[in-house]
Structure 1
Amino acid sequence: MARRRGRAWEHVRVSWSASADSARPFYGSFGWAYDLVVAAPEGPWVAAACADLQSVGIGPGARLLDAGCGTGRYAAALGARGYSVDLVDASAELLSQAADRLPRANARVADLRELELGRHYDAIVCRGVLNDMISDVERQAVLNSFASHLRSGGAIVLDVRDRDVSERRYGDNYRIEKLVDTPRGTLAFTADGKFEHGLIYTHEEHELRTGTEPPRLTSYDFTMRPWTREELDEHLWLAGFRVQTITELNDRGSNDRLLCLTILDRTPVPQ
């Protein structure tokens, strides 16, 4: 594809869910219920990621960074397959659960746009987090940050939402409703989403019903920006990566995600 050099990237504020001072209840005050609400199995994604990594010679024993590790389900599954996994996330609440799952891992609360871990990895895995980067500036900052933490020839396996499929999925408004029994009471979770002008706008509500106290209700609004394949290719190229594969991913009952394998093979392009 044609490369655009010297582009003046626009700058708008990133969604709070990407920041280390995030106030999103799903990552903070209700982080303890995340795995109960998002109960999708990690196996299919981990199998696909491992197949990609092994296709470029990165197998068990390699050092990985799970960037945006959440509660550590995927990191633990990668560890069970023989990888040495470190953890980083913007949410201290989610990261604490991940550290409990992998107590020997290095774990750090950090903003992916400004990583300074002092380590280099054979590979980085990143699931979903890049959708929270709204501006081109911040998207490029994350990928440049990843490049600075990889050895030469290292790889990234990441997944993002596909823009075209997301537009079809959210175009007529989208709603998720779940009622989950937890050790702390019954949790009612709803999320309403709509797609406008290339962005997904989402409103979440959590209502915890204990039976002995008034229900506890929190709500939150945030924005995501899906990716096109062309955007992935360009931003990765600018960060010094060579894309190997971009494939459709369907592991949560929807086909709106892209799984990308890319190799670091040069220094980033000056911007």
Structure 2
Amino acid sequence: MDGRLATIYDVECPWGRDDDFFLATVGETPAARVLDLGCGTGRLTLALAAAGHTVTGVDPDRASLDAALAKPGADRVTWIEGTSGVLPRAAYDVAVLTSHVAQEIRAEEDWTRTLGDLRRALAPGGRLVFDSRDPAARRWERWNPCDSRRRLALPDGTVVDAWTEVTEVRDGLVSFVHHYLLPGGDELRSSGTLRFRPEAELRAALAAAGFTVERIHGGWHREPVGASDDGELIVTARAAG
């Protein structure tokens, strides 16, 4: 990630209802050893540490970790550049993947390996909590230059015009480009592809990896699947003992 994109990301993605949900859910295990896999610039990671948990943030993107390290309270967190393959055995009570990081793991063999790594990294009975958009909600249809148009005010006063466009939808994969138009005409672009997995597929993969699904919510106020405009599949699973 370009350092400028990390700054834009923090402005575009402030604290929200999803963070409230994850903070409260992790808090069900007081003073937990917490893994934040795909921690990004550390918004939730730092809040978990401030709440009294022992937190490790893992992310493969150096610029994101550098942005996290520059924030107040960063010294309370253990930061690791890498993926799930670097995780130690039975080291965590709770693991979270937030901001739809699970969807960034596109290839099924990578998803299977990641779930296996997480199962190994959690203590027996430890919890895995993550969010994944419900493909039935078809949220990508809102990712177009009209509906997604927005203006972002950066900390230095710069105003950025932003929009998103989908470039391809195929076989459960949605590819897109975020456009950020800077004053003077320069444009930054951030492209990505997300895997949209239905609920049954998530359940099957978790069971194969040694997890028991405790609950799946459809929205950040713990609504049933399909009953919220949030269009989420918010999963809480427990590692087999």
Specify if TM > 0.5.
yes
AA partner of residue 198 (structure 1): G
TM-score (norm 2): 0.84
Aligned counterpart for 2:95 among listed residues 120, 124, 130? 124
CA RMSD, 1 decimal: 2.4
Kindly report which structure 2 residues correspond to 1:56-205, keeping only aligned pairs within 5 A, or say none.
58-99=28-69, 100-101=71-72, 102-112=74-84, 114-117=85-88, 120-127=91-98, 128-165=100-137, 167=138, 169-171=139-141, 174-175=144-145, 176-182=148-154, 183=156, 185-193=158-166, 195-205=169-179
- How many positions carry a matched residue from both structures? 228
AA partner of residue 7 (structure 2): W
Residue of structure 1 equivalent to 2:224: none
TM-score (norm 1): 0.75
- Runs of 4+ in structure 1 deviating by more than 3 angstroms, as ranges, are 50-54, 116-119, 171-175, 194-197
Answering whether residue 27 of structure 2 is matched by residue 34 of structure 1, we say no
Distance (whole Å) between structure 2 residues aligned to residue 230 and residue 248 of structure 1: 14
Structure 1 unaligned regions, length at least 5: 1-23, 267-271
Distance (whole Å) between structure 1 residues aligned to residue 57 and residue 191 of structure 2: 27
8 Å CA contact 2:131, 2:234 repeated in 1: yes
AA partner of residue 45 (structure 1): D
Paired-residue identity, %: 23
Structure 2 unaligned regions, length at least 5: 222-227
SS at match of 1:174: coil
Structure 1 residues 119, 216: closer, same or farther in 2, change over 3 A? farther
8 Å CA contact 1:200, 1:225 repeated in 2: yes
AA partner of residue 189 (structure 1): A
